[in-house]
């Protein structure tokens, strides 16, 4: 499989840079979006394998709604990377069938492990389709 | 509505002027019914509360004051009272409502009192309009919910900002060539992370005020193992089950102390690729003192090592934070090293 292609959806630019830097060596970052609209536009152009999604993002739609739209319109699954650790948010997020849920502040190794296993699942699902 | 029954005028209690005056002067709505549920006496307060005149009430079933949806069941409730006639609140743990003449409902609190006379048992009820109390309670609840939302928002923002700091430190580490300097930045990132985790656990806590230290220390040590896992030694990190909750101002220094002690053990206790074991435990003793201990079975501290005078930033941090907690730090050098921090449970 070629290098996994990741869309980062994060409205905090320093954190987005950190995530991009952490992923950079191993994966291809197809874009950095700060809102659901930007994420959808970026996915339409670059067809990433996976989105790393913050939940509180810029704009009217939050990351969970953005994840739902990314899956419906572009078949892109998500790994959440968020500071939201409460049961209610996790339950809402669960309905979008994410490949993972990472809490901030994140550790690079945990991020890479989660993204690797998410991409394996993406690849397997593509083969079985 | 049934035709008015003859009020129980035969009952001597009702012809007692003093009794009537006392009922009239009561600060709540008062209504007395006979064994058939017929209203035999009301006061002016009750007239105002329900919007009926006295003449419209006396001789009629008390069910006229009960909302229609409860009316059918009410005679059974009344009979139940007569089976065990003693003073008590009506419908405890249930919301009670009265029905006014204009059909509107009013939330009420009702106390029932049997009045035993030679002519039978009457029930004297005092009825209080609790509209204002309910409104105040609803306002209080809304304000508590608002406070909770606000607190969650604050913890969320603090955590987000700590993530930005953590990201800055990590990115900075990528720009330095000196490995020692990069390691220092990593240590700083871990310290920030240990504080951020307190906010995460608080955010998840029921009361948003106290941190479950068992969960917290388990997550913290797991993170440290990930962050420092590439040290030379193959170290297993074990955390004993902990049942302890601490407020924010004690949880942060405790977290930082454990962060430093575990970091120190992982980095220095097992040089030369030997395997080892680090154990974290915490608990509350019978004397209500909290003990947090980090043990390792590594090479041990140098014989001349003085914890208090150490030049290591991490260990000075432990001493400083221990002082802040009013804690005593002791070092046991048997079978490796155990550093134990003991302090009084904060109120």
Res. A46 pLDDT band, cuts 50 70 90: very high
**Are B203 and A103 a contacting pair at CB < 8 A?**
no
Tokens of B86: 């003693």
Interchain CB contact of A28 with B (< 8 Å) = no
Has residue A108 got a pLDDT over 90?
no
Q: Which residues contact A40 (CB under 8 A, 6 or more apart)?
A: A66, A69, A70, A73, A74
CA distance B55 to B60: 9
**Are A104 and B160 a contacting pair at CB < 8 A?**
yes
- Choose the closest CB to A107 out of B156, B171, B226: B226
Tokens of B126: 């005092």
Res. B253 pLDDT band, cuts 50 70 90: very high
**Are A56 and B168 a contacting pair at CB < 8 A?**
no
Q: What pLDDT sits at residue B1?
A: 47
Mean pLDDT, chain B, integer: 87
Chain A residue whose CA is closest to B198: A105
User: pLDDT, tens digit, for every residue of B76-88?
Assistant: 888 888 888 888 8
- The percent helix, strand, coil of chain A (3-state, each to 5) is 50, 20, 30
**Are B204 and A109 a contacting pair at CB < 8 A?**
no
Report the gap between the CA of B246 and the closest CA in chain A (Å): 19
Which residues in chain B touch residue A103, judged by CB atoms under 8 angstroms apart?
200
Give the residue, B266 or B45, on which the prediction is more confident: B45
**Are A18 and B192 a contacting pair at CB < 8 A?**
no
Report the gap between the CA of A129 and the closest CA in chain B (Å): 35
Which residues in chain B touch residue A110, judged by CB atoms under 8 angstroms apart?
226
Residue range A88-94: mean pLDDT, rounded: 90
User: Which of A119-123, B186-190, B232-236, B269-273 shows the lowest per-residue confidence on average (mean pLDDT)?
Assistant: B232-236
The runs of H, that is alpha helices, within B85-209 are 131-173, 179-204
Interface contacts (A, B; CB < 8 Å):
59
Residue range B325-346: mean pLDDT, rounded: 91
A 62-121 near B (Cβ less than 8 A): 83-87, 103-110
CA distance A22 to A109: 9
**Are A83 and B156 a contacting pair at CB < 8 A?**
yes
User: pLDDT, tens digit, for every residue of B34-57?
Assistant: 989 999 999 999 999 999 999 999
Q: What pLDDT sits at residue B4?
A: 53
The overall pTM is greater than 0.80 = no
**Are A109 and B229 a contacting pair at CB < 8 A?**
yes
Interface list for chain B against chain A, based on CB atoms closer than 8 Å:
152, 156, 159-160, 162-164, 166-168, 170-171, 174, 192-193, 196, 200, 203-204, 223, 226-227, 229
CA end-to-end span of chain B, whole Å? 62
**Are A105 and B174 a contacting pair at CB < 8 A?**
no
Q: Are B197 and B216 in contact (CB under 8 A)?
A: yes
**Are A105 and B171 a contacting pair at CB < 8 A?**
no
**B80 phi and psi angles, rounded to 5 deg:** -60, -40
CA distance B265 to B163: 26
**Are B168 and A14 a contacting pair at CB < 8 A?**
yes
Q: Which residue has 């994410």 as its token pair?
A: A98
Among candidate residues B72, B56, B205, the one with its CA nearest the CA of residue A86: B205
CA distance B161 to B163: 5
Among candidate residues B281, B277, B308, the one with its CA nearest the CA of residue B294: B281
User: pLDDT, tens digit, for every residue of B136-192?
Assistant: 999 999 999 999 888 888 888 888 899 999 999 999 998 999 999 998 998 999 999
Q: What number of other Cβ atoms are within 10 A of residue B202's Cβ?
A: 24
**Are B193 and A109 a contacting pair at CB < 8 A?**
no
Q: Are A48 and A21 in contact (CB under 8 A)?
A: no
Provide the pairing of β-strand B105-117 with A100-103: unpaired
User: pLDDT, tens digit, for every residue of A50-90?
Assistant: 999 999 999 999 999 999 999 999 999 999 999 877 788 88
**Are B163 and A109 a contacting pair at CB < 8 A?**
no
- Best mutation site among A8, A105, A114 for testing chain B: the one with the most B CBs within 10 Å? A105
Which residues in chain A touch residue B190, judged by CB atoms under 8 angstroms apart?
none
CA end-to-end span of chain A, whole Å? 17
Which residues in chain B touch residue A13, judged by CB atoms under 8 angstroms apart?
none
- ipTM exceeds 0.90, yes or no: no
User: Residue A2: is it exposed, middle or buried by C-beta count within 10 angstroms (0-12/13-18/19+)?
Assistant: exposed
Report the gap between the CA of B62 and the closest CA in chain A (Å): 47
Report the gap between the CA of A65 and the closest CA in chain B (Å): 19
**Are A86 and B203 a contacting pair at CB < 8 A?**
yes
Has residue B209 got a pLDDT over 50?
yes
Chain B residue whose CA is closest to A104: B163
- Best mutation site among B160, B229, B255 for testing chain A: the one with the most A CBs within 10 Å? B160
Handedness of CA B317, B320, B322, B328 (dihedral sign): positive
């Amino acid at each position: 499989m070629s290098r996994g292609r990741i869309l980062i959806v994060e409205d905090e630019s320093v954190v987005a840079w950190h995530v991009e830097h952490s992923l950079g060596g191993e994966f291809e970052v197809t874009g950095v979006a700060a809102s659901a609209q930007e994420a959808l536009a970026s996915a339409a152009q670059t067809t990433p394998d996976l989105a790393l999604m913050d939940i509180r993002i810029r704009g009217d739609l939050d990351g969970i709604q953005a994840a739902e739209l990314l899956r419906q319109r572009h078949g892109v699954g998500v790994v959440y990377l968020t500071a939201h650790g409460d049961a209610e948010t996790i339950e809402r997020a669960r309905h979008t069938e994410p490949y993972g849920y990472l809490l901030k502040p994140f550790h690079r190794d945990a991020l890479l492990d989660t993204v690797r296993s998410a991409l394996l699942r993406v690849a397997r699902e593509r083969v079985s389709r | 509505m049934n035709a008015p029954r003859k009020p129980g005028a035969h009952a001597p209690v009702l012809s007692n002027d003093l009794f009537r005056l006392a009922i009239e002067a009561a600060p709540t709505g008062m209504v007395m019914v006979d064994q058939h549920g017929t209203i035999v006496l009301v006061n002016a307060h009750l007239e105002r509360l329900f919007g009926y005149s006295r003449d419209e009430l006396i001789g009629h079933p008390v069910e006229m004051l009960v909302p229609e949806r409860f009316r059918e069941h009410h005679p059974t409730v009344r009979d139940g009272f007569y089976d065990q006639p003693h003073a008590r609140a009506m419908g405890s743990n249930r919301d009670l409502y009265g029905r006014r003449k204009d059909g509107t409902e009013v939330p009420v609190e009702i106390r029932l009192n049997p009045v035993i006379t030679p002519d039978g048992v009457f029930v004297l009820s005092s009825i209080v309009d609790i509209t204002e109390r309910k409104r105040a309670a609803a306002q209080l609840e809304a304000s508590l919910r608002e406070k909770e939302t606000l607190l969650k928002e604050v913890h969320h923002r603090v955590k987000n900002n700590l993530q930005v700091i953590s990201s800055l430190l990590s990115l900075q580490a990528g720009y330095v060539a000196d490995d020692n300097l990069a390691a220092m930045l990593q240590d700083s990132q871990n310290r920030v992370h240990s504080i951020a985790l307190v906010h995460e656990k608080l955010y998840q806590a029921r009361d948003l005020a106290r941190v479950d230290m068992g969960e917290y220390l388990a997550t913290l040590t797991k993170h440290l193992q990930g962050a420092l896992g590439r040290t030379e030694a193959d170290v297993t990190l074990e955390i004993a089950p902990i049942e302890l909750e601490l407020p924010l101002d004690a949880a942060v220094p405790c977290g930082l102390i454990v962060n430093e002690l575990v970091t120190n053990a992982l980095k220095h206790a097992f040089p030369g690729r030997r395997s080892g074991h680090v154990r974290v435990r915490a608990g509350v003793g019978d004397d209500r003192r909290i003990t947090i201990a980090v043990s390792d079975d590594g090479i041990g501290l140098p014989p001349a090592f003085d914890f208090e005078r150490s030049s290591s930033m991490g260990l000075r941090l432990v001493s400083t934070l221990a002082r802040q907690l009013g804690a005593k730090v002791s070092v046991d050098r048997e079978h490796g090293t155990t550093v134990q921090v003991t302090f009084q449970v904060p109120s």
